Structures are given as structure tokens and as C-alpha cells.
Amino acid sequence: SARFLSNVKRWRLFADMSVDIGITLEVTAILLPKPFFLPCICLGNMFKALCGVAAGASGGSINLYWAKGSDISDINAKFGAQNTVSGAIGLVFAGLFAKSVNEVAPQSLWLMYIFLTVLHLYANVKCMRMISFDYVNTIRLDMILRNYVRKGDDKSVQISTPPEIAKSE
């Protein structure tokens, strides 16, 4: 559990990649021979379970970051409402997709899936770069020291601030 706290951003991105891998395994399972269908579905669900653990463990720290100057219960309520709304919108699009899946070429479906998966990961990377935790973990300490050493003997060298580190972390 200490590793989740010290590398929140990394674990959050791990969770996002895990869910994408899990969904991809589930979708591709129908393309495999019958003996591999069940193992592929099970492996996909295992990746989605890993996502649940990593997202849940890192989500608390991320919510605390957004709650600065606010009430954590307010942030959690907004997070829950956002999940409900996005889930409802997702269900509508899933229904429309299910109705039209036979009318669209498989290549177009795969291109759309790949595009949406890449967009999902890109959006999460951008979100993690917006967060600048004010504590130092091993990754941030390494980045600060590298910046400090790289600037050499300059007496006016200043240590990087958390927002500066967050942009490159």
C-alpha cells in the first residue's frame, strides 16, 4: 500500500492501461479458437480487476489533491455523480453501437476502438500532468536532483517547484 501512495500517478496510469488491456482481450476473444475463448475472457477480467485495485488505491490521493480548500466529501460526491452520468451516457452510446455494429465494416470498428483507446490514455496522461503533489517521492526526487546537477555550478540555480516537476513527471 505504501507504493500506491508514493507513486500515485504511475498506479493511476497502470489502472487505465489495465482496463484497456482487459477490454481488448475480451473483444478479441471471439477471434480466437474456441479453446482459447474462456482463458482470454478470464485474463481480460483479471486485468480489469487489477484496474479496480490500482484505481481505488490511487483514487483517494487524487481526490484529496482536488479537495484542497474544499471538503473531501463534496469531491467524492461529485466524483460519484460524474461516474453515474458518464456511465449513463456510455450506455446510450453502447446501445447505438450495438444496433449498428452489423452495418459497419470490421476495419472501421477496430480503427474506432483503437482511436478511442488511445484517446482514453492520452486524456489520462494529460490529467495526471495537471496534478502536482506537494510531497517528494523517489521519482520526483530523482527529477529534482537531475535538474539541479545538470545546471552545474551556477549559483543562481533554483530547485524545481512541484508544478514544474508535474509537467515533466
Query: What digits encode the pLDDT tens for the residues 52-67?
Result: 999 888 888 888 777 7
Residue/partner pairs of 116-125 with CB below 8 Å, 24 or more apart: 117/20, 117/23, 117/24, 120/16, 120/20, 121/13, 121/16, 121/17, 121/20, 124/12, 124/13, 124/16, 125/13
pTM: 0.76
pLDDT at residue 9 is higher than 80: yes
- CA-nearest of 133, 140, 138, 127 to 169 is 140
What's the rounded mean pLDDT across residues 114-121?
93
Query: What digits encode the pLDDT tens for the residues 73-95?
Result: 888 888 889 889 988 998 998 88
Please state, in angstroms and rounded to a whole number, the distance separating the CA atoms of residues 80 and 104: 34
Q: How crowded is residue 135: how many other Cβ atoms within 10 Å of its Cβ?
A: 10
Q: How confident is the model at residue 151 (pLDDT cuts 50, 70, 90)?
A: low
